[in-house]
């Protein structure tokens, strides 16, 4: 015959301790606790149901479910109304503290959202920053006039650095690839065009320029790391030859207008100059100069608040199709 202690241990081996399992399965949810508090305050299950916005049968069912979950009776029901049991009074005191803590939690979360929504930091490569973002930000301001927006313009590599160092909430790039550590979505499409001043011999060509001649000619170019340069280098097999390297679209365009040499720029950037004949577009044969414009953000940090709204606006824009 075994020891009593051993028999007791064996008898209790299959039992589950009162504290076992997830707290969420052992503690009523906030809706049930708020209903219990309403019953205590109003003395009527029907009035409590109306206050929390449910039917009386649903309220009765929720109270019964809470009683089964806790294993104690909470409410005495009678034709004269509903009255808390002595145990119900004690549970109600605990419920009040839980609800107050939840209200404090909710207020803190709202404060965090308000702080997030009060500002938006955008980093964008030069073409997008100059020719697309102003319209998107104007539309965002119409819906969020109190959100302060800061714009950091640079090349695509600089945009990635800003995002990865948490100096920007949302970025826009023009390159062929998405830098490591970032997620992306295409928001617009763009074409690069070869342009030159009207006095350049290419401006009088009757046939498209061969790709080999473009690759062999020194050009006014954006710096390495820019989306425009990435697309051109890829199209020419890395053979683009710089006559001058400049760090902004405006500077490249001004140099081309001034006759420094041919340049390759976004069609978004040269529309006015082509219309007024300050620049001439030169067709090129055998190269693909189309690119996707992308919104980017840190992997695992999907845009929220103003950043999410701005992202939505880019998808609605006619230029984003």
Domain residues of the chain, as ranges? 22-114, 119-185+295-320, 189-291
* Cα separation, 64 vs 82, whole angstroms: 13
The pLDDT of residue 239 is above 80:
no
Quote the mean pLDDT of the chain. 86
The pLDDT > 90 percentage for the chain reads 56
- Sequential DSSP letters for 132-163: THHHHHHHHHHH-TT-EEEEEEE-HHHHHHHH
Using the predicted structure, report yes or no on whether residue 316 has a pLDDT greater than 80: no
pTM for the model stands at 0.62
Phi–psi pair at 304, nearest 5 degrees: -135, 165
What is the mean predicted confidence (pLDDT) over 268-278?
94
Are 272 and 139 in contact by the 8 Å Cβ rule? The answer is no
Whether residue 243 has pLDDT greater than 70: yes
Most confident of 15-19, 194-198, 283-287: 194-198
pLDDT digits (tens, 9 = 90+) for 23-82: 778 889 999 999 999 999 998 888 999 999 999 999 999 999 999 999 999 998 877 777
Instruction: Read off the pLDDT band of 169 (50, 70, 90).
Output: very high
Evaluate whether 22-114 and 119-185+295-320 have a shared fold.
no
Candidates 3.20.20.140, 2.60.40.10, 1.10.10.10, 1.10.1530.10; CATH matching 22-114: 1.10.10.10
**What's the distance, Cα to Cα, between the start and end of the chain in Å?**
84
CATH tag, 119-185+295-320: 3.40.190.10
Q: Is the pLDDT of residue 320 over 60?
A: no
208-223 tens-digit pLDDT? 999 999 999 999 999 8
**Per-residue confidence band for 265, with pLDDT thresholds at 50, 70 and 90:** very high
């Amino acid at each position: 015959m075994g020891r009593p202690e051993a028999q007791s241990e064996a008898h209790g081996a299959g039992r589950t301790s009162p504290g076992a399992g997830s707290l969420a399965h052992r503690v009523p949810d906030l809706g049930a606790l708020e209903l219990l508090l309403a019953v205590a305050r109003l003395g009527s299950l029907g009035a409590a149901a109306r206050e929390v916005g449910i039917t009386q049968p649903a309220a009765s069912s929720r109270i019964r479910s809470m009683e089964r979950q806790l294993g104690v009776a909470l409410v005495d029901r009678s034709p004269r109304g509903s009255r808390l049991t002595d145990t119900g009074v004690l549970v109600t005191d605990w419920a009040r503290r839980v609800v107050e803590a939840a209200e404090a939690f909710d207020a803190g979360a709202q404060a965090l959202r308000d702080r997030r929504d009060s500002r938006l930091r955008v980093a964008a490569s030069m073409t997008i920053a100059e020719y697309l973002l102003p319209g998107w930000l104007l539309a965002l301001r119409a819906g969020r006039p109190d959100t302060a927006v800061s714009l950091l313009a640079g090349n695509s590599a600089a945009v990635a650095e800003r995002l990865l160092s948490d100096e920007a909430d949302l970025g826009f790039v023009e390159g062929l690839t998405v830098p490591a550590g970032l997620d992306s979505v295409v928001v617009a499409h763009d074409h690069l065009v070869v342009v030159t001043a009207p006095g350049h011999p290419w401006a009088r060509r009757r046939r498209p320029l061969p790709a080999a001649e473009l690759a062999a000619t020194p050009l006014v170019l954006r710096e390495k790391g820019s989306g425009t340069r990435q697309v051109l280098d890829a199209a020419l097999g890395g053979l683009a030859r710089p006559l001058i390297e400049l760090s902004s679209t405006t500077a490249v365009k001004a140099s081309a207008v001034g006759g420094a040499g041919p340049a390759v720029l976004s069609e978004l950037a040269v529309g006015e100059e082509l219309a007024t004949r300050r620049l001439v577009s030169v067709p090129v044969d055998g190269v693909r100069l189309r690119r996707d414009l992308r919104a980017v953000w840190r992997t695992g940090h999907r845009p929220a608040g103003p950043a999410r709204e701005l992202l939505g606006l880019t998808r609605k824009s006619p230029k984003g199709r």
